[in-house]
Amino acid sequence: MSETFRVFAVDDDPFVLDIIHRILDTECEVETFDSVEACAPRLETVKPDMFLLDVRMPGMDGYAFCRQLKDDENFSTIPVTFVSGQDTIDARIKGYDAGGEDFIVKPFEVEEVLRKVKVAKQIVQARLALEQQAKEAQKFSFMVMSTMEEAGIALNFMCQLVAWETEQDIANGLLELLQRYRLEGVVQTRIAERSLTVSAAGTNLPLEVSVMNHVSGLDRIFDFRNRSVHNFERVTLMVSNLPLDNPDYCGRLRDNLSIAAKGAESKLQSLEALELNSRNQAGILATLDYVRASAEALRQANQKSHMAADNLMIAVEQKLVNAFVHLGLTENQEHKVSDLVSDVMKQQQELLDNSEETDRVLKDLGERLGQLGLGAAKNP
């Protein structure tokens, strides 16, 4: 075994630790700890290749420590072998549930420990081989992407453009497009009276903003020195290192970048329209709420007026009866006064009936406005 293979053994029994150290000392690097708490600080500076964990220990036990390791991306792939004095299915299931890879029962044989460490080393070597294969696959994928046809890169950008929902996504996408062409540059988007300027150096850098503000007002497509600018109403794309030594490639780049910038322009126009519609809808909903609240306030005021008028008629009728007693009117005079008051009260009642109709109309208006606002909110 390689001397660089490092094992951390954690057990509260110094005798067990001494045996493990003696068994593995000539085969790999071994560090022993009498508790999880003693091992934890060492993990801040050293990452082992394998853990041998006792199950029962003072403080944190081996199962809990294993779960903690498996939850940490820095240690989750390190093989854990439990060392337990209990040879039961329950103990093994607990070790499995905690994320362990193997199990040793005390007292153990020398050959068993060596075999378990050998298996762990094979696991580590297999993982490293897979990681290397993944890196090589990633490298190969990058090489394939780097050698794609220029039009294919632009097409891939257009496909991704459909899913982007903000000007930040679009600006970053254009910047990534330049990087795939091995170009450097700056992107500026302009929608809803705000602008965003992005480059590999950062976002909204004052000098870049100044330059982009200037070139955005010039021709649709133009070159100066080794720079190329593509202008549209809502987006400007400026390349800083056009490969002038390859005129044919430069021509294809201009065409593809122009197509990508035009696509970005269309998407930004769509986002701007959606944003405007959203603001308009919010204004309509706010107006509907205001009108509905006003209608309800009028209805309540109308109800109060109706009640006040009813109370007033009752009071007038009562006062009239009391007045007849004190005024000493003849029966004929009383009838005339009563008829006069009755006519007035009848007219008042007709007005109140109209008020009830007004209340019904206002109530219906409020309900209709509420349904209209709810429908608009569900269908932005």
Q: Which fold has domain 150-275?
A: Beta-Lactamase (3.30.450)
Q: How confident is the model at residue 203 (pLDDT cuts 50, 70, 90)?
A: very high
pLDDT given for residue 327 in this prediction: 63
Q: How confident is the model at residue 2 (pLDDT cuts 50, 70, 90)?
A: very low
Place of tokens 């600006």: 171
Take residue 304 and report the two structure tokens written for it: 């109060």
Domain ranges of the chain: 6-143, 150-275, 282-378
pLDDT tens digit string along 263-301? 999 999 998 888 877 776 766 666 667 666 766 776 676
Burial 43-82 (b: 16+ CB within 10 A, else e): eeeeebbbbbbbbebeebbbbebbbebbeeeebeebbbbb
Whether the model clears a pTM of 0.85, i.e. scores above it, the answer is: no
**pLDDT at position 142 over 60:** no
**pLDDT at position 143 over 50:** no
Q: Which of 205, 204, 215, 209 is nearest to 168 (CA)?
A: 204
pLDDT given for residue 49 in this prediction: 93
Report whether CATH 3.40.50.1100 matches the domain 6-143. Answer: no
pLDDT given for residue 353 in this prediction: 59
How much is the mean pLDDT over the chain? 82
pLDDT tens digit string along 73-130? 999 999 999 999 888 899 899 999 999 989 999 889 899 999 999 888 888 888 888 8
pLDDT given for residue 4 in this prediction: 78
Segment 181-207 mean pLDDT: 92
pLDDT given for residue 354 in this prediction: 59
**pLDDT at position 231 over 70:** yes
361 burial (CB, 10 Å; 0-12 / 13-18 / 19+) is middle
pLDDT given for residue 305 in this prediction: 65
Q: Is 136 helix (H, G, I), strand (E, B) or coil?
A: helix
pLDDT tens digit string along 32-64? 999 999 999 999 999 999 999 999 999 999 999
